[in-house]
Structure 1
Amino acid sequence: MKILCFILVLSAGFFARSQRESPKIIIGIVVDQMCYDYLYRFEKNYSESGFKKLMNEGSHLKNMHFNYIPTYTGPGHASIFTGTTPRKHGIIANNWLERSSNQNVNCVGDKSVIGIESSPLYGSSSPHRLNTATVTDQLKMTYPKSKVISISIKDRGAILPGGHESDGSYWFDYGKGTFITSSYYMSKLPKWLQDFNQNNNAASYASTWFPLLEKDAYSANDDSPYEKILAGKTTATFPYDIASLCKTNSSLQPFTLSPFANTLLTDLAIIAIEKENLGKDEYPDMLCISYSSPDIAGHAFGPDSKEIEDIYIRLDLELARFLKSLERSFGKTGFVLFLTADHGVVSVPQKLVDDGEQGGYVFVDQIINRLRDSCESRFGVDFILGQTNLNIYLDHDLLKRKKDSVNINDVLALFEKELLNIEGIEQTARGTELFKGLESNDHLLQMLREGFDPKRSGDLLLILKSGYLPKSSLSLNPHQGTSHGSGYDYDTHVPCLWYGSRIKNTEIHQRLNIIDIGPTLLGLIDLPKTESMTGKSISAILKP
């Protein structure tokens, strides 16, 4: 069931050289929703052994950006580990409208597989929609005895980094509170993970979340009108009795937005290295870790909240603990680690508005209804198939049937005229123009082109103004919480830190693209780029 995307042939001399110089284990850490400025905004409360250690003793790439739209979790993880953009790897969003079924599909959803030791709603997932090879695939193709393990709370955070050839990709089951996988990878969980799940799970880790530090240590206030109030709470303030909130919500969602989920994932990473014997032979192994909880909390509370500040202070301690474990097991030169993020986040738009800055909301469902009315009024037919992720999909079959009386360009022109008069919309782009792939001097348009897939994207794509978010008029408390997805710096500028074997102690200020990470990883273990990679190796961070 695994997909072999390429054939790689290496000479015996090249093989021996890469074996000799490769680190024993490569660690790839993705923090879901980490803005670059978090490195400095919360720095005073960081330890010396976590983020600061990576910043001060490794390579600090200070101007790393995503070079496509939309900046979501699925595309972010895919781009980091494939070394290319959605235009090639096909993961255009977390979900999109599939024309053949007229249904939204998840980027890793796969009805052909079943969950392994999962509850009914979770587990049917695989990388089958990922169109290109990952760094981890290339590693496995070159060294079949190498191991690749990937873990995350989110399924997409584990599956996409692990690629098609992962030895084990494990994610969180919201029904059971344990880690699961799918039949794409194996028929049963390894014994060590079964044992881990028995004692290390949401029920055993859920506790009351108090601020870690004294009140005056934080820069953010606790009580803010811009944060979502969790069911079971009357205010968005500490403390959070996570076990009680899970019971009230009949869901483990409150656990996943707490720092305790990060602790659980760190413990899983440490035990996976031990039980899978990673880094113990001459073949380089790779462990991919994606910390999802900062994103889940960030959507609810926003980047200016005390909750997010506390989560990152605690995540720093998890990172320090993990680094200590790595150095104890492999020494300082036996591993290499990189840390980055899959996207940033915008401040809560309502806060921007109240502070006199540009920002606001575009209620997309109302806009689509308006376009449907205009379409019927002008052409006598509604040609809109659906909308998702600011992509408007037209009904191509209906257009074919009406081709003698209606031209698709006339429909698009009608929509464009109306959309550009709506507050918050910066510009629109037709799918046919994006498909041509022509270079553009318009930075945002070029980014949109890099995120476009003609088989999966819409016919008309929207770009919002800076500070604006798409919302539904049916959203509960739409002016609380926040999101991401744009091509503006608050969403594209993320940390990128490297540490360990063959990594220089340096700072790089040059603007770099997230797709450069993949080629750099391959350069680190002396493997050539895959044909699909469009990024460039950041050779300045590598020792000779």
Structure 2
Amino acid sequence: MKKTTQVFAYLIISLLSFSTTWAQNKSKTLAKRPALVVGIVVDQMRYDYLYKYQDRYSDNGFKRLMREGLNCQDNHYNYAPTVTAAGHASVYTGTVPAVHGIVGNDWTDVATGKKVYCTEDSTVTTVGTTGKTGFMSPKNLWTSTITDQLRISQNFRSKTIAIALKDRGAILPGGHTANGSYWYDSKEGRWITSTFYMKELPSWVQKFNAEEKALKYVKQGWNTLYPIDTYVQSAEDNLPFEGKLPSEKTPTFPHALEGPNPLEIIRSTPYGNSITKDFALKAIEEEKLGQNNNTDFLAVSFSSTDYVGHAFGPQSIELEDTYLRLDRDIAEILSYLDKQFGKDRVLVFLTADHAVAEVPGYLQSKKMPGGVFEANKALTEAKSALQKEFGSDKLIIGSENSQLYIDHSLVEKLAINRKKLHQVILAAYSKIEGTSTIIDMQDVANSTLIQPYKDLVTNGYNPARSGDFMILLKPQWFMGGKTGTTHSTLYAYDTHVPLLFYGWKVKPQELSSRTSISDISTTLANWLGCMEPSGSIGKIIPIAK
């Protein structure tokens, strides 16, 4: 009897031990899909910013994504020109402007000659404020997005919410089927949307707007997060090629943020990122994202890095401070996701919509090449040459995205040979310092460009929306002002951006082989088990098993 009792006790202990082990293993089993995908686009973030400020980042923001995730170290845009709208569209469609149609922030419609803003839509109206800042939708986007495809794959039981200060930074990532895309209206400091998505703002958005967070942020003013003499990765704080915020006499700290409309100035401070983060976390909570047994998607774009970068440039203390504060915002997001879901139930990716050039004035101060192209002078020179050669200075009807739009009907009427037209424009522009060449967009294959650049131009060209001739400047030359910087070229300083994946299914890995921005949505579709977007051309990025 005693022996029988001992055997029985042994069986019970073994069964309990097996059950515990089975339960533990079950809890470690990776879910088929994550509860939530969070896409983060940092506007104008160059790849090197991951490392330039690395020693000053916390352990829980950018460094955590790099330490615990997949770091695609040679990730580039595969088209030109590189601008915000085209970048956001390309990240989420897995294709290029030649296919998805968003060739720039603005363009001239070739058929009508009308200037078009990327997300304009006169058939919808503003929700959340008065005025036309909400006359927006994704109707100009020709393809589906990964956010669309994920909803389709779940029979629209899941949710997509997209958020950015810029309308284009929210609308294009949200795709055609977003439950809500929200952007910031600076007239009253509110988050708004359009009737494309809903008839009135959800109560939680109205309550958030009523808190007047934007005004509270700007009232703090903007001083450096740390003592200013510790910003050794940046140039000194008062340089002639830095821009100034409204109502300020010098581009120096502390910034009072007391311009004519402080609610607009917030865009050009780190607080624009912080209020975006606040709104994004509130959206997860109130929309109950990741809590409905489906895979939801939150698309967030941090726009203030672009505003600050344009005004002050990559070597400014303002930009360094903005990234140090953004690192804290990202750390807060990751911490929130940990508490709500756990790392293995959330998939996060981070990239940028384009990178940026150095400020020419800064380069020149260091005896390096670069400059600001005199675009107006060049255009005047070209029109004068066209008048002399063909008897008309009306042949050029528009200039967008470093491209010239030609009046095709006038060319036909005057029986002008396109090759001759190209030669006259090239000769005129070549008189202006900084010009490299003029490319006939209909004959890129026969241009003098090296093949990699031919591919970039071809991928960015859409005959319905692009210009006839592209103005290619020399490296580190751009069309802009004497202060600050910009982007849009085909050079690596504009195309090389971060790409980090973190969380569900992702193990620590550094990938040095080339990836393109088109690979993001294609990879997400593969991992999530849904169809890739309708125009997708990307490849699946390999991950460590």
What TM-score do the two structures reach when normalised by structure 1? 0.91
The alpha carbon displacement at 1:101 in A equals 4.6
Listed as ranges, the matches of 1:523-542 within 5 Å are 523-540=526-543
CA distance in 1, matches of 2:35, 2:212: 27
Deviations 1:454-505 (A, max 9, x none): 010111111111100113xxxxxx2111101111111111111111010121
> 1:427 is matched with which residue?
437
Matched, 1:356 2:359: no
CA contact (8 A) 1:202 1:255 kept: yes
* Residue 279 of structure 2 corresponds to residue 268 of structure 1: yes
CA distance in 1: counterparts of 2:41 and 2:63, whole angstroms: 17
What count of residue pairs does the alignment treat as equivalent? Answer: 511
Give the % identical residues: 39
Q: Return the offset for 1:239.
A: 0.9
CA shift at 1:354, angstroms?
A: 2.4
Which residue of structure 2 lines up, in the alignment, with residue 209 of structure 1? Answer: 222
Tell me, in whole angstroms, the C-alpha distance in 1 between the residues paired with 2:122 and 2:378: 33
Show the counterpart of 1:9: none
Q: Of 228, 232, 241, which aligns to 2:256?
A: 241
Which residue matches 2:246?
231
Aligned match for 1:170, one of 179, 182, 185: 182
* Correspondence for 2:376: 365
What displacement does 1:425 show?
A: 1.6
Cα deviation for residue 362 of structure 1 reads: 1.2
Q: Which residue of 2 aligns with 1:258?
A: 269
Looking at structure 1, the residues matched to 417 and 84 of structure 2 have their Cα atoms a distance apart, in angstroms, of 36
Structure 1 position 420, deviation (Å): 3.5
The 3-state SS of whatever aligns with 1:432 is coil
Q: Is residue 35 of structure 2 the alignment partner of residue 33 of structure 1? A: no
Which is further off, 134-143 or 305-314? 134-143
Q: Which amino acid aligns with 1:453?
A: N
Q: CA deviation at 1:142?
A: 1.4
Question: 2:173 pairs with 144, 154, 161, which one?
Answer: 161
Does the 8 A contact of 2:519 with 2:541 survive in 1? yes
Q: Which of 4, 22, 33 lines up with 1:22 in the alignment?
A: 33
CA offsets 1:196-250 (integer angstroms, 9 cap, x no match): 11114321322211100012321222222221122311110111122x22xxx33
For 1:4, the equivalent position in structure 2 comes to: none
Out of 480, 483, 491, the residue aligned to residue 480 of structure 1 is 483
Q: Which residue does 1:187 correspond to in 2?
A: 199
- Partner of 2:471: helix, strand, or coil? strand
Distance (whole Å) between structure 2 residues aligned to residue 318 and residue 68 of structure 1: 30
> How does the TM-score come out when normalised to structure 2?
0.91
Equivalent in the alignment of 1:454: 463
Tell me what 1:10 maps to. Answer: none
Is it true that 1:407 corresponds to 2:410 in the alignment?
no
Separation of aligned partners in 2, 1:106 and 1:201: 29
* Mapping for residues 63-74 of structure 1, pairs under 5 Å: 63-74=74-85
What is the CA deviation profile of residues 324-363 of structure 1, one whole-angstrom value per residue up to 9, with x for unaligned ones? 0001000111101001111111110121122211101111
Do the aligned residues in 2 keep the contact of 1:349 with 1:467 (CA within 8 Å)?
yes
Q: Distance in 2 between matches of 1:411 and 1:479?
A: 31
Contact 2:31–2:345 (CA under 8 A) maintained in structure 1: no
How far apart in 2 are the matches of 1:513 and 1:373?
41
Q: Partner of 2:407 in structure 1?
A: 395
Residues 1:439 and 1:331: Cα distance change in structure 2 (over 3 Å): farther
CA distance in structure 2 between the aligned counterparts of 1:217 and 1:121, rounded to whole angstroms = 44
Aligned to 1:312: 323
User: Which residue does 1:14 correspond to in 2?
Assistant: none
Residue ranges of structure 1 left out of the alignment (5+ in a row)? 1-18, 472-477
Cα distance change of structure 1 residues 174 and 119 upon mapping to structure 2, 3 Å threshold: farther
How far did residue 96 of structure 1 move? Answer: 1.0
Query: Please, which of 439, 462, 466 is the counterpart of residue 475 of structure 2?
Result: 466
Q: Which is worse superposed, 160-169 or 437-446?
A: 437-446
Q: Is the 8 A contact 1:150 1:159 kept in 2?
A: yes
Tell me, yes or no, if the aligned pair for 2:70 and 2:543 is still in contact at 8 Å: no
SS of 1:128's partner is coil
Q: Is the 8 A contact 2:346 2:503 kept in 1?
A: yes
Pair 36,28 (structure 1): closer, same or farther in 2 beyond 3 Å: same
CA contact (8 A) 1:200 1:264 kept: no
Q: More displaced, 440-449 or 501-510?
A: 440-449
Contact 1:45 1:217 in 2 (8 A): no
Distance 1:531 1:149, change over 3 A: closer
Question: Within the alignment, does 1:503 sit opposite 2:513 as a pair?
Answer: no
2:325 is paired with a residue whose SS is: helix
Whether contact under 8 Å (1:61, 1:495) holds in the other structure is yes
- Per the TM alignment, residue 85 of structure 1 is displaced from its structure 2 partner at its CA by 0.7
Amino acid at match of 2:473: L
Q: Residue 531 and residue 202 in structure 1: after superposition, are their counterparts in 2 closer, same or farther (change >3 A)? A: closer
Q: Is the 8 A contact 2:149 2:531 kept in 1?
A: no
Q: Aligned-residue CA RMSD in angstroms?
A: 1.8
Counterpart contact for 2:241–2:361, Cα < 8 Å: yes
Structure 1 residue 322 displacement after superposition: 0.7
Contact 2:378 2:428 in 1 (8 A): no
CA distance in 1, matches of 2:190, 2:349: 26
Instruction: Tell me which amino acid in the other structure corresponds to 1:159.
Output: I
Q: Highest Rg: 1 or 2?
A: 2
Contact 1:390 / 1:463 at 8 angstroms: preserved in 2?
A: yes
- 2:15 aligns with none
- Counterparts of 2:75 and 2:317, CA distance in 1: 26
Q: Secondary structure at the match of 1:105?
A: strand
